[in-house]
Amino acid sequence: MDKKKHSSLLKWLKGHNQLAKSWMMVTVAMAFISGLFLLAQAALLANILNQLIIEQTPKSELISSFVGLALVVCLRAAISWARELTGYRAGEIIRLHIRKLILDKLHSLGPATIQGKPAGSWASLVLEQVEEMQDFFSRYMPQMSIAVLLPLIILVAVFPINWAAGLVFLLTAPLVPLFMALVGMGAADANRRNFKAMQRLSGHFYDRLRGLATIRLFDHADKETEQLYAASDDFRRRTMEVLRMAFLSSAVLEFFTAISIAITAVYFGFSFIGELDFGHYGVTISLFTAVFVLVLAPEFYQPLRDLGTFYHAKQQAIGAAESIVNFLDAEPEVNHQESKQPI
């Protein structure tokens, strides 16, 4: 797929965002609130460990901190649940709209066009390919804003405490989306080929199922079995191609995230043994600072990793959108007998 076609399909998908803009905004707002609770959770956990290990504070004096930590964890879980609901609602509204566009187009094209393709192909277009857009609208689109918002919140909290750790976060963060884009460049084409193979398989299977009596009558069961096996094997190979790209993308994201977190942990380790003496604004690095930053380190990269995971959903949606857009742009077939002018 060329870049112009890719851009036009992505523009067509994003053009439907206005239908569920309010739900997407609520999803992003939920993520922002969850990020604030994340800071509170990390601070409470770091304070508890610092009090128990360094200050040797009795556990009975930290009951309020433990209760506060449990409350924050429960609130974050509830917000995450609400965020999933609002995201799903956004995708549902847009999916229903796109499916209505397809059904209206089918009605306008008329029976002649419908009979030109197997019923399984139409079922795949209306059902499977529309459903494949759910994650794009419910997860990927809100995650584009969340992937910027949450790391920014964490950087604002980390830099005043330790600028060295904040600098590590800031410098390594662009690596995740960069390699995500490099790995996922061919995902749209792979998904497009997969959807076409699925359409062929659906139409082939449905037509043979309807003509099962005729196939048996002419003793073509073995031949049709071989053809069906070939079509299903082609679909299997294309599906595995898509999965291979998805797993490769996830592996790359995990690799660079692990390296970034390891660099931060090594910095604090060498600082505690006196080998490194920078990044602390003239104040000795405490256990509270180290734990606070290290708890936030995986969460800093998590929105970017989620964006990488949902990037595959973007390519999947683009692959599904190609057939839908081509169908919606199709012109109705004209009955030439009726269109002839009298002499």
- Model confidence, pTM: 0.74
Q: How far apart are CA 70 and CA 75, in angstroms?
A: 9
Q: How far apart are CA 126 and CA 132, in angstroms?
A: 11
Position 187 scores a pLDDT of 59
Mind listing the pLDDT tens digit for each residue in 209-228?
777 777 777 777 888 788 77
- Give helix 141-158 / helix 21-53 axis angle, nearest 10°: 30
Which one is predicted more confidently, 133 or 38? 38
**DSSP three-state, residue 342:** coil
Sign of the four-CA dihedral 110, 113, 118, 123:
negative
Which one is predicted more confidently, 64 or 175? 64
Q: How far apart are CA 44 and CA 183, in angstroms?
A: 38
Spatial neighbors of 298 by CB under 8 A, at least 6 apart, are 257, 261
Q: Which of 139, 160, 12 is nearest to 87 (CA)?
A: 139
**Residue 285 per-residue DSSP state:** P
**DSSP three-state, residue 124:** helix
**Residue 173 per-residue DSSP state:** T
Which one is predicted more confidently, 30 or 131? 30
Position 257 scores a pLDDT of 81
Mind listing the pLDDT tens digit for each residue in 15-43?
888 889 999 999 999 999 999 999 999 99
Position 332 scores a pLDDT of 62
Position 65 scores a pLDDT of 92
Which fold is adopted by the domain 94-330? ABC transporter transmembrane region fold (1.20.1560)
pLDDT at 343 over 70: no
Locate 22 and state its tokens.
């309010």
How far from 81 is each of 34, 78, 165, CA to CA, in Å? 11, 5, 31
Mind listing the pLDDT tens digit for each residue in 180-216?
666 655 555 666 666 667 666 776 676 777 777 777 7
Across the chain, what does the average pLDDT equal?
A: 82
Q: How many angstroms from the chain centroid is the CA of residue 167? A: 27
Mind listing the pLDDT tens digit for each residue in 51-108?
999 888 888 888 999 999 999 999 999 999 999 999 999 999 999 998 888 888 888 8
Taking residues 267-272, report their average pLDDT.
Answer: 89
